[in-house]
Amino acid sequence: MRRLLLSLTAAATFAATGALADVKLPNLISDHMVLQSGQPVAIWGKADAGEKVTVKLAGQTVRATAGADGKWKVMLKPLKASATAAQMSVKGKNNLTVSDILIGEVWLASGQSNMEKPFRNQSGQKDVFDADKALAAADTPQIRLFKVKKTRTNTPAADVEGKWIVTTPQSLDESRFSATAYVFGQRLHTTLNTPVGLIDSTWGGTRIEPWTAPEGFAAVPALKRFTGQAPGTKVDETVMSELYNGMIAPLVPYGLKGAIWYQGESNVYPVGAPDYTAKMEALIGGWRTVFGQDLAFYYVQIAPHTYHITRQNQVVSPEAEPRIWEAQTDALRIPNTGMIVTTDLVDDLTDIHPRDKITVGQRLAGQALAKTYKQTGLVVDGPKFRSLSVEGNKAVLSYDDIGGGLIARDGKALNWFNIRGADGVWFPGVATIEGDKVVVSSPAVATPVAVRFAWDEAARPNLTNKEGLPALPFRSTRD
């Protein structure tokens, strides 16, 4: 009996030691993955402390030794884009093979429910417009999808749960992958003729603060209240960094080209917009810091929605959302960013999930193609207010990004302009396009002082450029 017990103990010890000795890769580094072309590529994992690991891919052989914590990482030299499936071997005390690897463009998609929204069958939501047509056309094996399982943690997780899948109509539908992200990737793939990898790390109803890395908060003085807090502490009614810890940190240091972001609805209430721009600086800066690169970052200005009706216990003014719009516009001061406007894409103001996600994805892709990939001849921004001058009883507005010129997209009189004088009383403005400017006046205002445009949560204005991109909401003064 004693001999049997000793044998069983030895076998158990060997099994445990053997399990620890196995080289392991994170779920993100697996069959069907896309690696970012044109920049150094990190491959990492776990092994026994001191274990030597060899990685071979695309003619390169690189080696590392696991540290005292069992972690190891190697860096591959930049790889050329390739749609030919490659194989990677990882050897330590055991051998691993990762198959069907493509080299191309890799983007992270994150945010709340409007980024999370799949083409169809999302509980409590209507399907994306033309969902069946989009899904039927999704026979795109060079687009690979990785959907991160929802996870909240108070400290950075070691790994995410998920797997790379090859896009087919069935896999895209069944994976419930972000419709916006897929359309974005599809346009990149078609235009650049290169494989595309998309990582969907989203969670409906979430605020910006949980997605932000501690490093991001620490770099923005206006957000000092977020630094030095114990894990799990609530600040601004939310637990800071818990989604970053569970759903972004484990992706580091996977090579990315950039990120697309669709969030802000949950920050309309209860504290609103006073420092939402600073929070975007923290989010973007934090991600760039932890990934160790100047990630391109393109985001969606949230769509019109009647918050003060649907959430009347939390939002008391129809100006609450325009203040978020303004904060999102201000965030364009952050280098290597871009924003799309969606005031023209709402079919139902009471539905916080507008159904035209195809246009959203296309516009985000336009930002990336023009600004990251330097494609020429693209107009990707809508008219943006630059300055106001006064000529008698008229306010003359100058714009940037007018493209081929200013128009009313429906051919009707311009709408959603307001004007005021020194008394501070706002009146509806009569607005007309005169060349590359908009002229606003009102019989009730003898000497204009300020103009505002689309300054209401329900605003769906008709001013666009000739390329069909809507003008950004604004107010000319902030008093």
Q: Return the half-sphere exposure (C-beta side, CA atoms, 13 A cut-off) of residue 373.
A: 22
Parallel, antiparallel, or unpaired: how do β-strands 296-300 and 258-262 relate? Answer: parallel
- CATH T-level fold of 20-102: Immunoglobulin-like (2.60.40)
Going from N- to C-terminal start, the domains of the chain cover: 20-102, 103-372, 384-475
What are 188-209's pLDDT values in tens digits? 999 999 999 999 999 999 999 9
| Per-residue pLDDT, 21 | 65
Cβ contacts of 224 within 8 Å, gap of 6 or more: none
What are 207-243's pLDDT values in tens digits? 999 999 999 999 999 999 999 999 999 998 899 999 9
What are 56-110's pLDDT values in tens digits? 999 999 999 999 999 999 999 999 999 999 999 999 999 999 999 999 999 999 9
Contact 80, 67 (CB under 8 A): no
Pick the CATH number of 103-372 from 3.40.50.1110, 3.40.50.2300, 3.40.50.300, 1.10.4030.10: 3.40.50.1110
The yes-or-no answer to whether 20-102 and 103-372 have a common fold is no
| Per-residue pLDDT, 313 | 82
pTM: 0.94
**Residue 3 clears pLDDT 70, i.e. is over it:** no
| Per-residue pLDDT, 269 | 86
Distance (Å, rounded) from C-alpha 370 to C-alpha 5?
A: 69
Q: Across residues 464-479, what is the average pLDDT?
A: 96
| Per-residue pLDDT, 316 | 78
What are 408-417's pLDDT values in tens digits? 999 999 999 9
Distance (Å, rounded) from C-alpha 380 to C-alpha 79?
A: 29
**Residue 152 clears pLDDT 70, i.e. is over it:** yes
| Per-residue pLDDT, 271 | 66
User: What are the phi and psi torsion angles at 139 (to 5°)?
Assistant: -90, 75
Contact 149, 237 (CB under 8 A): no
| Per-residue pLDDT, 9 | 42
The separation between the first and the last C-alpha atoms of the chain, rounded to the nearest angstrom, is: 87
